[in-house]
Structure 1
Amino acid sequence: DYDPAYSQSHEPVRKQKTAEGHAVRAVYMYSAMADVAEEYQDKELMEACENLWENITQKRMYITGGIGSSGFLERFTTDYDLQNDSNYSETCASIGMALFSLRMANITRDSRYAEVMEQELYNNILAGIAQDGKSFFYVNPLEIKPRQCMPHTSRAHVKARRQKWFGVACCPPNIARTLASLGQYIYGVDGADIYTHLYIGNQTDIPVNNDVVQIRIDSMFPWNGNIKVKVQGVKEKIKLHFRIPSYSENFQLYCNGEEQELKVNNGYAYVEICENSRIDIQFDMPVAFLHANYKVSADVGKVAIKRGPIVYCLEEIDNGPDLQCIYLSSKEAHVRKSRSFPECFEIELQGRRLISKSEGLYSSDGLSYSDVNIQAIPYAYWNNRREGEMLVWIHEIIG
Structure 2
Amino acid sequence: MFRFSAPPPLSLYVHVPWCVRKCPYCDFNSHELKGDIPEAAYVDALLGDLEQDLPAVWGRPVSSVFIGGGTPSLLSPEALDRLLSGLRARLRLAPDAEITLEANPGTVEAGRFEEFHAAGINRLSIGVQSFDDDTLQRLGRIHGRREALRAAEAAHHAGFDNFNLDLMFGLPAQSLARGIDDIATALALEPTHISYYQLTLEPNTAFHHRPPALPPEEEIEAIQRQGQARLAAAGYAQYEVSAYARAGRQCRHNLNYWHFGDYLGIGAGAHAKITHAPEGRIERLWKKRHPRDYLAAADKVEGRATLRRSDAAFEFMMNALRLVEGFDTGLFGQRTGLAISAVTPALQEAERRGLIEWDAKRVRPTGRGRDFLNDLIELFLDGDE
TM-score scaled by length of structure 2: 0.27
Instruction: Decide which structure has greater helix share.
Output: 2
Report 1 or 2 for greater relative contact order, CA contacts < 8 Å, sequence distance ≥ 6.
Answer: 2
Instruction: Decide which structure has greater strand share.
Output: 1
